[in-house]
């Protein structure tokens, strides 16, 4: 195996099993005929392996939430807006987690600030074109507010703020939602 190769799924699963049973990494790698550089290369994209290398059980229930938080922060670091990151991950728990977990909220803010040069820079102004795009998407059957906001390139928070202060916009949202139900 070359040092730049990645582990197969079977090799990764065997390594994770050994680590879960308390075996030493270097000895297990040698026993399985693997190389440490291949382990590191695989761990860059294999979350379960990364968790096992951290000394935790990747199949423990509490790891799911930790993994989602880490994936959310990774997407923010890449410049993906929070509303799109939620869509990518298929969860809208992140705003709730921010309120429940001050450390996570601080991490989100710090990562968003650091990623500003690479993409997302906070709430985008609701221009007439973005409002039209949002309402068009919201009017499609099965489209959520989060998905419509992401399609328009704005945050759900920007939408809710505009709705509270602009009665015409609120009526247009209601009409779009009603047309989506028919």
List per-block mean pLDDT (blocks of 10 residues) for the chain, which spans 182 residues: 76 95 94 95 92 93 88 87 80 74 87 72 72 92 86 84 92 93 81
| DSSP secondary structure letter of residue 33 | T
Tell me the Ramachandran region of residue 141: left when phi exceeds 0, alpha when psi lies from -120 to 50, beta otherwise.
beta
What residues make up the domain containing 85? 62-118
Residue 123 located in a structural domain: no
pTM, whole model, 2 decimals? Answer: 0.59
pLDDT of residue 174: 94
Note whether residue 176 is domain-resident. yes
Asked whether residue 67 is assigned to any structural domain, the reply reads yes
Residue 124 confidence (pLDDT)? 62
How many domains does one find in the chain? 3
pLDDT, residue 16, reads 95
- 87 falls within a domain: yes
Query: Does the residue 144 lie in any domain?
Result: yes
User: Is the domain of 114 the same as that of 67?
Assistant: yes
Closest CA to 146 of 71, 89, 83, 93: 83
97 sits in the region (left: phi over 0; alpha: psi -120 to 50; else beta) called alpha
Residues 6 or more apart whose Cβ sits within 8 Å of residue 108: 72, 73, 76, 82, 94, 98
Task: Identify the pLDDT of residue 21.
Answer: 92
Nearest to 96 by CA among 108, 80, 78: 108
Both 38 and 69 in one domain: the answer is no
Domain check: are 66 and 114 in the same one? yes
Spatial distance between the Cα atoms of 179 and 174, rounded to a whole number of angstroms: 9
Q: Is residue 135 part of a domain?
A: yes
């Amino acid at each position: 195996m070359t040092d730049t190769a990645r582990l197969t799924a079977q090799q990764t699963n065997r390594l994770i099993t050994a680590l879960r049973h308390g075996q030493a990494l270097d000895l297990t790698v040698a026993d399985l005929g693997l190389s440490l550089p291949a382990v590191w290369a695989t761990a860059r994209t294999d979350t379960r392996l990364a968790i096992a290398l951290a000394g935790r059980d990747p199949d423990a229930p509490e790891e799911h939430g930790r993994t989602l938080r880490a994936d959310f922060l990774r997407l923010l670091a890449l410049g993906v807006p929070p509303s799109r990151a939620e869509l990518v991950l298929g969860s809208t728990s992140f705003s709730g987690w921010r309120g429940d977990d001050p450390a996570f909220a601080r991490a989100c803010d710090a990562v968003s600030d650091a990623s500003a040069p690479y993409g997302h820079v906070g709430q985008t102004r609701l221009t007439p074109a973005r409002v039209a795009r949002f309402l068009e998407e919201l009017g499609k059957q099965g489209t959520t507010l989060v998905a419509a906001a992401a399609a328009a390139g704005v945050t759900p928070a920007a939408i809710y703020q505009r709705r509270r202060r602009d009665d015409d916009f609120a009526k247009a949202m209601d009409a779009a939602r009603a047309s989506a139900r028919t």
